[in-house]
Structure 1
Amino acid sequence: MRKPVIGIILGDATGVGPEIVCKMLDATRKRTDFRPIVIGNEAVLKAGMRHAGKELEYRILSKMEEISDLTGEDSLILYDNGRFDPGDLAAPTKELGNSIIEMIKAAVEMVDAGLIDAIVYAPINKSWINLANPDFSDEMQLFKHFTNCDGLCLEMNHCHDVWTARVTGHVPLMQVSKYLSVERILEVVTLTDKCLRDLGIANPRIYVAALNPHGGEGGLFGTEEIEIITPAVEAARKRGMNVLGPYPADTVFHRAFAGECHAVITMYHDQGQIALKTKGFGEGVTMLAGLPIIALTPAHGVGYDIAGKGIANHIPMLNTVNVAVSMVRQKERID
């Protein structure tokens, strides 16, 4: 059986990314169920090895066509095309952002060329992307641009067998309500249902969280549940999806982690993130759902406060790679 090939982007060179990549590669060096190809700058990889206290043997390739035939070769490959240099890390500039953009671009090109099956990227700081190119505010926009994707895409987070997706993302809390609509919630539920099926869950059960305290208390504490969320749930059920709710947000995750459902749709960012990070801080995985390719990242930040100290936890990176391998295997079964 063919090994899934996972492209591993080193991420923000000033954060913990290079370190956790090296720790993950060391921990998986004897595994035979996937093959990693590292995408990034050689000096950054070497710094990651120093910080991780790991020595990895690798072969560096600078041209994509050199990767096309690695049959029978077991050595770790670093793809460094010369455009991933982050510049002076002591005083970072937009060069750091350019390096992130170039790594993502190269990874997408490698998927398109059939050289890798999925992308796992170490944490990045969105502000560096925006500094380098003001047309983009985060990596999702970059991935959509490089994959020519104009459909709905959103982050799905995973922890302890529960997935979450959110109807609104990085918007002020006071503006959440105005972004809610039956159509938007239905889109998010539909995409979540598809992604869970792509993961091999035959009949996903999805719970939808309420927005207001006590689920609105029959309209006493807000009417979004009556006017928007419940109609969206009913519309999803009419389309054959196994969707229930809205459930009060202060209890829905208790039910989810007890095994009642596969995913929870939240109305805003922290409604889901607080639950997942409390349950398993440092264990989560984020999937960029809706893209035509598989792209995932650990569900934590760049960790500037511990970068270079050798204490970063690589388990989230390992979890992310495991999910990527599973997704590739499932995609092969479907195809």
Structure 2
Amino acid sequence: MKTPLSKEMLFTYFSGQATILQKQLIEEWLAGQESQEMYFEWLQEWENSHPQFLPDVDSAFERMQELLEAEEYKEEQAAVASRTGDIRNGFGTLGRWAAAAVVISGFTAYLFRDVVFYENYRTGYAENRTLALPDGSTVALHPNSGLKMLRWGFGWFNRDVALEGEASFVVTHRADNQPFTVHTPDHGKVTVLGTEFFVYSREKGTQVVLSKGKVRISSPEMAAPLDMEPGEKASIESTGEIDIQPLTTTERANPASWQEHHFRFDHTSLFDVTRELHSVFGLQTVIDDPSLAARQVTGTFKARQADELLSVLAEMLEMTVEVRSGKVYLVPDSLDTN
């Protein structure tokens, strides 16, 4: 009998913080029908408590209705009907079954509308993933990040995505100038037409770095949005205020530095360091040895992934990094774990 998964583990997965082992456990658990039903139930509960952005469903249906009422569409459907009329008449029963299937499908879509409307992409704390969007744009998701977008109609209804974490965007310009908008958990919005930019959205706030093109950034607390120019970085503070500054000479010379995390510690205990790792990468860390947890770190470190910083700390503090049951355990080198 398979061990049932906890709601907390699934919520960790939905937030993009699940480890590779946890993902494997969830995949095995989903083999059962009851598990799938519980999965969707908990997914809807999690998404209701973590709202990002909602589609303009009424507007979407209006555009669909306009398409159906267009003369060109009616003429095309009439031509198809004339060619397939005999076939349809010969399968009336099948048509009734198809209608029933549509009703059932509609009811299911209502129950799980978030799953039906949206596509969710998530990465683990040591995973990078590049996504090719339907409009030709590309997104490079960084570790412990998630992207949410319309499952169907992206590029027609809108080009809105919701980001939790960090990602680099290369946005394709549209002939109709349709904007591309990134929504962040602090209700900020980054709106562009065609550009290259990087977005960092964590508990500490949101940062945007613009490489090419033009970006308009806004937050609920700002009376008017602000425009960014290439070579600038913007921060949305916890108060909602937006601060735009030019990139430093180093940042201009090395664009990859935008995506590096700068950790500054001043006699910081390892316990507090692990709290910072959890905040940035979603890393679940355990330190059973109190003396190790109290060891202090001083210095400035750069790391794009948690593994990079952990390897440096392991050498400095003479400790071993172990991954067990989906968590990272830090133990002194002198401690026998067998």
TM-score range, shorter chain: under 0.3
More helix by share: 1
Give the TM-score of the pair, scaled to structure 2. Answer: 0.28
More strand by share: 2
Greater CA radius of gyration, 1 or 2?
2
Q: Point out which structure has higher relative CO (alpha carbons under 8 A, 6+ apart).
A: 1
